[in-house]
Amino acid sequence: MQARLSVIALSVAAVFALSACGQKEEPKPVAAAPDAKPETVVKLGHVAPMTGPQAHLGKDNENGAVLAVEELNAKGMEIGGAKVRFELINEDDGADPKQGAIVAQKLVDAKVNGVIGHLNSGTTIPASKLYFDAGIPQVSGSATNPKYTQQGFKTAFRVMANDVQQGLALGEFAAKQGVKTVAIVDDRTAYGQGLADEFKKAAEAAGIKVVATEYTNDKATDFKAILTKIKSTKAELIFFGGMDAQGGPLAKQAKQLGVKALFLGGDGVCTPEFMKLGGEAAEGNYCSLPGSPLEKLANGPAFKEKFNKRFNAEIQLYAPYVYDAVWVVAEAMKRADSVDPAKYLAEIGKTRYDGVTAQIAFDEFGDLKGGAISMYKYTGGKLEYVETLGGGAVATAGSEVKEAVAEVKDAAKAVAGAATAVGKEAVSDVKDAAKAAAEAGKDAVKAGAEAVKNAADATKAAVDKK
């Protein structure tokens, strides 16, 4: 028995010895599928306030970007001979300019291929310098302060109307309501102050008198002191430049103090949250939104349906614009056949994109061409559409029609020139033919005269003979 165990032990040892000597067959590498293509990961930075009073708007923006990225990846876009997978890198700037600059540098260091955002003008403007220095394209779906695109940064674009366009529409709308006096309140942010300044210019140009100018901030919750001052002026309208987190309580406290003035604000208060915070005080007042209502746009209803289904939530404010911003960047990459920022940047400026929010095209500054502004009334807890002012899709289409008309005119000139040339040749041919006919006529007349003469001579001879 012992001898048998020894034999077994020797056999096992031999097996290990053979393995150690490399006698074991190595696994063969699995060959890649012959049609497999390399994959390129495109990193898109997205920045919005994900904490603080505006977190609900930040989440709305993020959802818009997420939906676009998911659709792009499902579509399976190919760029530069490789399959592209888009990856969204979300950052929270808390609607704070300093934090905005910090996360912007973070995205630059991460070598993102492009940036969507930021949400607020106050964070977008300082961050835009960092993206410009790094050569990274930036498309905002919500920053409206004119300064953003007036800095001369070729990397900066926005897919919605700016505050010059919106302030003008708001001023004109106030005048149409028969308002004669207005009190203006803004939150001193780049957005709130910028919109209020533009509204003031338009209102005064329309003959409205500004009877009070008051200031707050984007963290305030108590507005009784400034509202008491405004009440004493008996202003017919309060215009607020700021976001819904302050606008809602402002309207509510105005009603509590017995202020009779109508309330008017821009896109920052044109939200379900404003109506929630303002309660009964929101009823019957007005606000504006860049663009035309989703339900009136060709791609709007479908977007709303898929957004509601995907996130089980209603659109708060800017999600459709952020969605369009992502697609604008992706389409520019596709046209350039490159995800390299240096190569596809120029294509963004050439954009002609049929988006959810508008027919998107940019002017030389990176602003949306002919941005339309729509007015809404808070009615029964909902935003009721009133009218659309300004350009938007119609203006963009109008510019395309003008281009088409110019092309038709050029073509007409070419045709007219060709026709003239052909006409000249035809006239020349006709003249030659007429000349030939005239010559032939002369010969015929001559021949006829000779024939008549001969006939007369013959007749005379016959008569003489008789």
pLDDT digits (tens, 9 = 90+) for 284-306: 999 999 999 999 999 999 999 99
Number of domains in the chain: 3
Same domain, 77 and 145: yes
Contact indicator for 144, 267 with CB cutoff of 8 Å: yes
- Give the per-residue pLDDT at 390: 73
Same-domain status, 262 and 327 = no
Name residues of the chain where pLDDT drops below 70.
1-36, 391-466
Do 346 and 305 share a domain, yes or no?
A: yes
Both structure tokens of 358: 């508008």
Q: CATH number, domain at 211?
A: 3.40.50.2300
Q: Is residue 113 part of a domain?
A: yes
Question: Is the overall model pTM greater than 0.85, yes or no?
Answer: no
Contact 93, 103 (CB under 8 A): yes
383 and 265 belong to one structural domain: yes
Domain that holds residue 422: 394-426
Same domain for 174 and 251: yes
289, 374 contact by CB (below 8 A): yes
pLDDT at 35: 60
pLDDT at 371: 81
**241 and 173, same structural domain?**
yes
Residue appearing with tokens 């202003």: 235
Q: How confident is the model over 47-67, as pLDDT tens digits?
A: 999 999 999 999 999 999 999
Nearest to 51 by CA among 99, 114, 89, 113: 99
Q: C-alpha dihedral over 322, 173, 393, 116, to 10 degrees?
A: -20
Question: Does 6 fall in a domain?
Answer: no
CA distance 157 to 350: 12
Do 124 and 191 lie in one domain? The reply is: no
DSSP state of 30: P
Given the structure tokens 């300044």, which residue do they identify? 197
* CA 34 from centroid of its chain's CA atoms: 40
Residues 348 and 384 in one domain: no
pLDDT for the residue 353: 96
Beta strands at 78-79 and 82-92: parallel, antiparallel or unpaired: antiparallel
The span from the CA of 430 to the CA of 435, in Å, is 8
243 and 190 in one domain? yes
Give the Cα separation of 35 and 18 in Å (integer): 40
Residues 247 and 383 in one domain: yes
pLDDT for the residue 37: 75
Co-location of 352 and 253 in the same domain: no
Residues 225 and 151 in one domain: no
